[in-house]
Each structure stands twice: as C-alpha cells, then as structure tokens.
Amino acid sequence: MNIAYIFPGQGSQVTGMGKSFYENSKNAKELLESASDFCKIDFKHLLFEENEQLNKSEYTQPAIVLNSLMAYTALMEQKSDLKAIFSLGHSLGEFSALAVNGALEFLQTLVLVNKRGLFMQEDCSKLEAGMMVVLGLEDQIVENICKKAQGESKKIFAANYNCDGQIVVAGLKSDLISYENEFKKAGAKRVMLLNMSVASHCPLLENASLKLCIELEKILKPNFKAVISNANAKIYTDKEQALKLLKSQLISPVLYKQSIKNYENEIDCFVEFGSNILKGLNKKISPKETYSLTNFSDIDEFLKVIK
C-alpha cells in the first residue's frame, strides 16, 4: 500500500492531546520526557492539563508538533517498516513532516517551532493582526476581493487554501472586519474571524520569516525524503530547496488543497498524525481515504486495515 503522511497545524491543539500515546507507547513517553528536558518546557502540563499557555503561539506550536511526533513514534514502535511515499503538513505541520522525513532532528524541531511562534508573535504584537475564514466562495472571487482591499491600502491576503469553498484570509484585524460585508455580498455562506493574534502566511511576517531562516540554516540536513511544500505544492528533498521554500512559507499562502490534488494519484491513502482536522478537509478534496491517529487505539485499527 502506498501511503502519504500528513500533519496538522495550529488550531488543532486540545487539552489532553498525546496522553494516550504517552501512556501506551514507551518510545512516545521517552520522547515527551526528553523534549521537556531539551526545550525546558513542562510538556506533560502543557499537553495534558488545562492551562493558558496552550493557546499562546510559542507554546502551541511545539505542543502540536510534539503530539504529531508522539503519534508517529507510537506507530513506528508497532510497525517500523511502514514507509510513506511522501509527507506534507498544513502550515506548522510542514515542520513535523520535515522531522519525520529526516530533514530535522525531533528535539531541534521543537525548539525551532517554539522560536517560530515567538517570531510570529513579535511581528504581529503591535499590529492587531488576525485571520478570518471565508466559506462558500471560489478562489478567484476571494483573491479579487483581497486585491481590491490592497488597492485601498488595506492589509488583507489569501492565506490558506484549505479546500474548495474554504479559504482563510489574514491581515490587520480592523481591515478584515471592515471587509466582512464585501465577502458576504459576493456570496460567502459564512465569514468568521478566528481566535488568532497572528496573521500567518502573509507579508506581515517578513521579519519572522528572515529570522526563522537563520535558525533553519543551522540545523537542516543536506538531504531528506520527499516533503511537499506549502509554498508551491511541489516536492523538495534537499537543504538548498528547503531554505528557499521555507523562507516563503510564512509569507505565502498555504496551498494545502493543491498539494493533495497534485499527488493524490500516487498514493492509496493518507495517514494523519495527532488530529482529525485534515481528514475533514481531505474528504472535501480527494476520494482517497484518510486515517487519523489521534490516540493509541487508532493505531491498532489502522494496522488491521493495512494488513
């Protein structure tokens, strides 16, 4: 069976995530404990107990990546010979994909995304930035409205192409709010401001992107297994490509649905680690099955299917 691994991004965090892997997988437990020591973050508290930090970007990002890596580690503990044709992630999830495909060490990845969250927050802290989901419009219509807004000196950009009829736009919160009715007048079924204090995947994160690349230069491996880029929806496999594409990643829209469509014919199914959010999107994009591993019992069920 030809498999693709997929990894969720920010917004997939929930209290208690990863606990099942921690309690049932020796290697996943060791990973969390090593991560706590290495990153100087109490991940047991962060992931398993109610706390305010889980929704702060610098903690949200390593928490989500760790949860995904624990799910992957638990699966490998059960079936170490299971290989993916390629891997991809949604936004932050691209770093999980890089880690499992050998581009980054696991613990260094967690430190990196902790810094990524800080850099993003620093860029947006004085701007009152935000993100807004637009449902029920074609891509071109959303893009045209964003261009119109930019022509009026407003900061509104297409940020995430999640599936047909679902695009997230990013920019200054006041500009987004001022354009809600423009999207509705164009026929949007719903327009909703998201609970986010950063404007991901748009030019407002130029400084964060530059700082992130400095960190990436230090730790990226020369070559690795196939990862699909959010920035151009194509496969890359080496450090030179990675630095260019990941520099673009924070300031360019996430081409998630394009990535799935570009490569769905090469695989039999997708496996999502740590969440079922991408499974929901994939149902609207591709006829290929997606299996979500959100707890240890999901691994058992998945392994029965592929035997």
Dump pLDDT digits (tens) for 101-134.
999 999 999 999 999 999 999 998 888 899 999 9
**212 in the same domain as 142:** no
**176 in the same domain as 27:** no
**214 in the same domain as 279:** yes
Active site residues: 91, 201
Q: Looking at residue 55, what is its pLDDT?
A: 86
- Give whole-number Cα distances, 20 to 34, 48, 147, 207, 210, in Å: 17, 10, 46, 38, 37
Q: Look up the CATH number of the domain holding residue 292.
A: 3.40.366.10
Q: Looking at residue 138, what is its pLDDT?
A: 97
Q: Looking at residue 127, what is its pLDDT?
A: 87
Residue 296 has pLDDT above 90, yes or no: yes
Of 146, 171, 193, which one is at a domain's C-terminal end?
Answer: 193
Residue 96 has pLDDT above 90, yes or no: yes
Give the pLDDT band (50/70/90) at residue 306.
Answer: confident
CA distance 232 to 285: 17
Residue 307 has pLDDT above 80, yes or no: no
**164 in the same domain as 17:** no
Residue 271, beta-bridge partner list = 5, 291
Average per-residue pLDDT in the chain? 96
**184 in the same domain as 234:** no
CA distance 160 to 181: 20
Give the pLDDT band (50/70/90) at residue 213.
Answer: very high
**208 in the same domain as 167:** no
Residue 251 has pLDDT above 90, yes or no: yes
Q: Looking at residue 196, what is its pLDDT?
A: 82
Domain span at 117: 3-123+203-306
pLDDT tens string 133-190? 999 999 999 999 999 999 999 999 999 999 999 999 999 999 999 999 999 999 999 9
pTM of the shown model: 0.96
CA atoms within 13 A on the CB side of 46: 25
**175 in the same domain as 146:** yes
Q: Looking at residue 11, what is its pLDDT?
A: 86
Residue 204 CB contacts under 8 Å (≥ 6 apart), including other chains? 123, 124, 127, 129, 155, 170, 171, 172
Give the pLDDT band (50/70/90) at residue 275.
Answer: very high
Mean pLDDT across 45-68: 94
- 87, 5 Cβ separation under 8 angstroms: yes
**Domain count for the chain:** 2
Residue 292, domain member (yes or no): yes
Tokens found for residue 295 = 């707890």
Q: Looking at residue 70, what is its pLDDT?
A: 98
Residue 160, domain member (yes or no): yes
Q: Looking at residue 126, what is its pLDDT?
A: 82
